[in-house]
Structure 1
């Protein structure tokens, strides 16, 4: 409603100012150019000033096509605005107006958008102003590629030969290419050096540039590095990138030929792979290089390889260079010697037998082109450093496998070897003791016995009652071994019998079955002239087996006539059981202390008696007791040694220790 009401007013004002002939002044300011990468969003700013203010202005945007045609792309009036639908910008542009600043926004610009844009400002009184900005779009090119000629170039060509081509693609604006030889840029020189450049405009609007280098080469160009440098443009700067470096093959005639052994380094031995290499100081394409040995057929190559060489490969090797066009021949030679080491020869061969106590001699030899060293080894230990092995006073320990190793100290890995089995002939000998006692709580026991001897002994297991036990036999390096499982019901004796043609040997195993038992015995000790003290050791028998007696320590003495002994130790009697005495010094000390305590107690009782403090006193009383029965004395013995010792006499009176 407001627009409808103000529209006639604006029209009226325009007619009024037009009638009066009054025109406003419009000034427009814009940048000369706007630079950005393809795919980015361009913002072209149009700043304007007018006497009438921005309220009634009309803003129009145009672009100038590459053909020079001017076309409007956006129109903004006071009442309406819209983008033109017949331009390539219709879906990618928008206008942002803030006071006297109008910004044209173009999204996803491409190289085809690189045109000139015009901003036109008109006022209500037909005041007009315009500004122009060029949009510059940049696309960095791909990395450059370079290709050298696949064939070599002769150094005697009269015209420039192609060296290679360099190409860079998809750049905008067009990139530039410069050729370099090592670090020196190349310039066109008629008749000596030519650089031909071609530019291709792609359908995308991008440019691809290709440059070809031609020049007359010299021998020193064989080591030169050629590459191209590409210069391209980015917003506000210039950048550079290099192609990979290439070299070319320059053909030139040689003046000398050389041949040498490439591998192995150092001295050559049989079995090696021999590699000979031939080289001349030229590389002319019309030449032929051959390597020849003795009367063999020449090999047309600069390398000769021979695998698993032998001494017959020794000799002179010759390298020949031939120029088939100029009929020129140059040659060089080298002498090759292949060292050899024949297989070791051991005498006696394979195996031998020596009687126990006698002497054996064995020799080991190997024919070689170099000095050799011989070592005899048994069980990874060196037993001799001579080609003659001497075994004196042969024993079973000396039986086994002997290895003879022959080496060439000058060449690592050059060696040969052979083996000799030595058997020491003799009757069986047991490895370990002849007699063994085995105590076991188990119901079965495994017995093992080993014998030395040659011929290999035959092992048979038997028991004391003549029973034969089945057991496997294993042949060892110097004899045999056998393991048997014996069922243990009671004590038994097993025999391991070994025999061969020279004798027999027996190993005895005495197996004792152990049964756990706990005895509890009650005994009565009859008094004698000996006196028993605490901590004394007593020996006694059981009623069920008077031939076996036990020992224990006296720990407690009671007035009963019986004592209990637990966990007694069974002893085999050597004389009649009796009561033993121990620790006399300790017992004497205890007796003295007890006497002192009784003396003090007697003095106290006597004092109380005189004072009449003892109840039931009737005249003088003898503090000593009447004699008791002298018939029996009872001792209780336990395993606890912490009880205090008390000494009693036959009448209940303290007695001095018996010194017997």
Structure 2
């Protein structure tokens, strides 16, 4: 070869090398094609396809690579339709899906958000890239408000609340709201600072701090945060709970409040408190105007600045005023004076204080009381509660001895419910004692212990004595009445003589006789409705309604058993007698003619032994006050005990 030709070959080779070294544009590397995008949530399975979804064919030999730092790392092979895992981080999470062209990646984590490469050798296709995007919804956001509080006079921004959203991927977006309106960054007014932490799992924890300058109107504002995030299913959001922040601001006015609201009366539990429109509430003092000097004097309050009047009394009425001292601004404010009125009724007085009058004369009682409200007077009988009249004066005309006793005057204020006072007065009607019962029958058992009672009234107050020995006790229901109870043993002598109690005073005496009757067998009475029927009358001790008698040990359970046995025995005897008479009649030994009929009854003397005792259940004083319009009156000696004879 000639020299010129060698030189040409050398120059051509050198030129080619220079072009290759210079990177001629026409010979640059082919750009990476746009990858397919696959989305999956953390923990799910991602499906990676080797080629577009519309691609079809028999993929018999495929290699899968992980693109990491511009390196291709083989992670899976497909040969003759069978998969083969390559050692490494994906060795246990890769498998073939329905088609050999689809690779399944299980238990997706945030670390799997990478680029994957599929190379198909049979059939020979262009390299196919798959980009995997991973998503995870954050947990419910938590919010922590500033519990120390923010003062409106501070010029710098203060932390309002902190919002935290944990374990999300990718990083969620945070929005702040006040009263449901979104907050935006505003110079010297609102500032939002967010940061994130990458957990070892690859998930993100977001922390956002809201700082702001608040005003008085923000004292009840509701703050909350919202996390916005995306999942394969679309966009989502989660909200925190709402919180309020203590807002401090100086007071502009102060006032007084009283509880309970409405008309107050003596005995109520009254509380006086001071309030302002500032926050926090400042230190208070409560002052009351001294009526004698006209100056305001400080009252003693509790640790909360409350003045408690328990119970409220007349002297608590007056003018009250609150004063507040703001320690932050050292400003003192005073409220308008408040007049507190405690309604009252003074002690009630009845004149005369110890009234005495002769029977048949008249008596005037006068009731007096004072109040800051209009009063209403009522007169009541103490024992019965009977309304006798209204007004401060009670006139008693032609009084009987039964009118003696205690009277009640009530002074009340109708305008103030529950405000009233009462006073008792005892009226004495001069006269010898009168007995609650003139005579009484008591059914007893021999050798039983019995309580006999005796009641007497009179003025002067009488004393009671007994004609039998025993243990006696006395008590006084009212200043003119005495009740004596005697504990005795029932002996044959006592059954024969009975008992008497005698009431005596300086004007005379009176006696009650107590007849003791021994309980015997139940008396049998013929039943007029049946020829041979028998009825039973059970005798029991009689007690008067409203009486103070306390007789006990009346027919005992043992005696009732004896009575029942006696009744049964008598019934059997009569049955046998009837059978015998019927037998003789059938034998013809007993005449049955009209003239031969005989009446089988009790002896006439037995038919006349039953007397029913009826006693009045009216107290003596009631009988006097409630006499009928026909003018019937009971004689002083008549004790209200009557007997109805049923013999005829």
Q: Please classify the TM superposition score into its range, dividing by the shorter chain length.
A: 0.5 to 0.7
- On the 8 A contact 2:314/2:344 being kept in 1, the answer is no
Is residue 601 of structure 2 the alignment partner of residue 568 of structure 1?
yes
Q: Distance in 2 between matches of 1:142 and 1:457?
A: 91
Partner of 1:162: 158
Is 1:366 the equivalent of 2:369? yes
Distance 2:332 2:524 in 1: 112
What's the offset of the Cα at 1:244? 0.9
Note the C-alpha offset of 1:180. Answer: 3.0
Task: Check 1:290–1:504 CA distance in 2 against 1; reply closer, same or farther (3 A cut).
Answer: closer
Deviation of 1:176 (Å): 1.8
Give runs of aligned pairs for residues 44-55 of structure 1, distance below 5 A.
44=47, 46=49, 53=58
- Quote the residue 1:413 is aligned against: 418
For 2:226, the equivalent position in structure 1 comes to: 229
Q: Render the CA deviation track for 1:160-189: whole Å, top value 9, x for unaligned.
A: 532513312314122222233434323223
Aligned to 1:264: 260
Cα distance in 2 for partners of 1:491, 1:320 equals 86
- Calculate the aligned-residue CA RMSD, in Å: 5.3
Q: In the aligned structure 1, how far is the partner of 2:467 from the partner of 2:72?
A: 124
- Number of residue pairs matched? 492
Distance 1:229 1:505, change over 3 A: same
Partner SS, residue 569 of structure 1: coil
Change (3 A) 1:72 1:243: farther
Structure 1: distance between partners of 2:336 and 2:415:
26
Separation in structure 1 between the aligned mates of residue 185 and residue 296 of structure 2, nearest angstrom: 56
**Partner SS for 2:421:** strand
Query: 1:500 — aligned with what?
Result: 504
Cα distance in 1 between the residues matched to 2:501 and 2:87: 119
Q: Structure 2 residue aligned with 1:206, among 183, 194, 203? A: 203
* Equivalent position of 2:434 in the other structure: 429
Distance in 1, Cα, partners of 2:520 & 2:327: 105
Shift of 1:453: 1.8
User: Match for residue 95 of structure 2?
Assistant: 95
Cα displacement (A) at 1:211 = 3.4
Q: How does 1:22-41 map to 2 (within 5 A)?
A: 32-36=37-41, 38=42, 40-41=43-44
Q: Within 5 A, what are the aligned runs for 1:60-459?
A: 63=66, 71=73, 86-87=88-89, 93=93, 95=95, 97-98=97-98, 100=100, 102=102, 104=104, 106-107=106-107, 109-116=108-115, 123=122, 132=130, 134-148=132-146, 150-154=148-152, 161-162=157-158, 164-172=160-168, 173-215=170-212, 220-221=217-218, 224-237=221-234, 238-246=236-244, 249=247, 251=249, 254=252, 257-271=253-267, 272-279=269-276, 291-293=286-288, 294-297=295-298, 304-308=306-310, 309-319=312-322, 331-341=334-344, 343-347=346-350, 363-377=366-380, 378-379=382-383, 380-388=385-393, 398=403, 402-420=407-425, 426-432=431-437, 434=439, 436=441, 450-454=454-458, 455=461, 457-458=463-464
Whole-angstrom distance in 1 between the partners of 2:215 and 2:336: 30
Partner of 2:610: none
More helix per residue: 2
Residues of 1 paired with 2:452 and 2:317: CA distance?
61
3-state DSSP class of the match of 2:140? coil
SS at match of 1:369: coil
Residues 185-207 of structure 1: CA distance to partner in whole angstroms, max 9, x if unpaired? 23223345433333333444333
Shift of 1:476: 4.6
Deviations 1:483-503 (A, max 9, x none): 767579998563342323341
Cα distance in 2 between the residues matched to 1:75 and 1:400:
121
Say whether the 8 Å CA contact 1:428–1:498 is kept in structure 2: no
Task: Name the TM-score, length of structure 2 as normaliser.
Answer: 0.59
TM superposition shift of 1:213:
3.8
Work out the CA distance in 2 between the residues paired with 1:558 and 1:100. 130
For 1:586-612, what per-residue CA distance to the aligned partner results, in whole angstroms no more than 9, with x for missing partners? xxxxxxxxxxxxxxxxxxxxxxxxxxx
Structure 2 contact 271–308 (Cα < 8 Å) conserved? yes
Deviations 1:505-553 (A, max 9, x none): 122426366547999xxxxxxxxxxxxxxx9xxxxxxxxxxxxxxxx9x
Please say if residues 342 and 416 of structure 1, whose CA atoms lie closer than 8 Å, have aligned partners that are also in contact. Answer: yes
**1:229–1:243 contact (8 Å) kept in structure 2:** no
Quote the Cα distance in structure 2 between the aligned partners of 1:561 and 1:328. 127
Distance 1:504 1:75, change over 3 A: farther
What do the CA deviations read for 1:562-599 (whole angstroms, capped 9, x no partner)? 6796853212599xxxxxxxxxxxxxxxxxxxxxxxxx
Please list every run of 5 or more consecutive structure 2 residues that lacks an aligned counterpart in the other structure: 1-34, 289-294, 526-530, 532-577, 608-648
Mapped to 1, the partners of 2:523 and 2:376 lie a distance apart of 70
User: Secondary structure of the equivalent of 1:409?
Assistant: coil
The Cα of 1:249 is off from its aligned counterpart by: 2.6
Q: Greater shift after overlay, 295-304 or 425-434? A: 295-304
Conserved? CA contact 2:175–2:182, under 8 Å? yes
CA distance in 2, matches of 1:73, 1:353: 125
Structure 1: give runs of 5+ residues left out of the alignment.
Answer: 1-29, 463-467, 520-534, 536-551, 575-660
Q: Deviations over 1:247-287 (max 9, x none)?
A: 56364684xx353433332344445424143436x7799x9
Q: State the match for 1:511 in structure 2.
A: 517
